[in-house]
Amino acid sequence: MPELVQLLPLVGIALLFWLLVIRPASRRQRELTRMQSALSVGDEVMLTSGVFGTLVELAEDRVGVEIAPGVVIHVARGAVGTVVQREEVLGEPEPEEN
């Protein structure tokens, strides 16, 4: 019985580590994978490098991103960090409705 009591703090620390670190990280990874698989042509995206552009081509493992008129770069699908709204890309505030 004393051996079990000595292991209890270690089990508690492992459980706390799982709840605070591993579980949220795996949830973020699942959400990122889901977002990357749901990409469609015309989406405004930000790549993990910080480059903004519009998706113009989709393939199984890579995407074509137009970063300027007539300039298309091909990157791995995993390089797409987020799908952004048009207002976020231009840095313009949204118009307020009264």
- Low-confidence winner among 15-29, 35-49, 58-72, 82-96 (lowest mean pLDDT): 82-96
Report the C-alpha gap between 23 and 2 in whole angstroms.
Answer: 31
- Say which residues have a Cβ less than 8 Å from residue 86's Cβ, sequence separation at least 6: 44
Can you give the pLDDT at residue 3? 80
Which token pair is 28? 């973020």
pLDDT tens track for 9-49 = 888 898 988 888 889 999 999 998 898 888 999 999 999 99
